[in-house]
Structure 1
């Protein structure tokens, strides 16, 4: 049974729920798995994923195709906005590219919740390489739908 403080889960329980939600989502997320993404960290309203740029991800300029960078940012966004075990989808997003990603670089996407009101949220995702160089900035807008990531788990956070 959940210990609630002012209508929210205790921070340890919220963290456990975020981790369990991420694990359940990842198990069903064939796209994220196929691109070799790993979940580095997750907590309520936050996720950090990483991905190594492979030869099959390069475009005609020998840099990472923007679609793969977008996919990494989008996946981090998805794990952040579903971290409270409430089924949530994207209602819109945009990306700005700052620098190319190069072969064998490890890109990290850090998604941070900026606003969560009712059924909608706003998340900013920063994509950097292993040296900390900015590769892209992504903003996602979320919309909570019916259902849970893990059916029957307490999602009050």
Structure 2
């Protein structure tokens, strides 16, 4: 299982922020195991100008990156960063479902810090994010791996 996780998510990953202008305002948060390649893809295919990017966090093992990316987005909502991650997911009949989801998440994190809260606190919120279905498995695997080392 460890090999499957490594193959899917890499040995390490990066959580990054896109900045659309010269300010340090974070406008989009993402994750990748190949930062240079991902930034080149953005420059070719992104519909918004990217002035620069920054690395928010290096993740080892890479399989934890799904959860960490979600935690960084929750952190952004808590502190009012104008990220467009959910804006890009607008859908439904009213075309506002992304905004409604962002509002729910912002209220949900009002009383705790998403970057440091225990997994049990964050886990119910992960259902709002795409590609986070493996997070429980990753936590279980990490617990098993740490348990093996401790023996």
- Global fold match (TM > 0.5): no
Please give the TM-score of this superposition, normalised by the length of structure 2. Answer: 0.28
Please give the TM-score of this superposition, normalised by the length of structure 1. Answer: 0.27
Structure with the larger strand share: 1
Structure with the larger helix share: 2
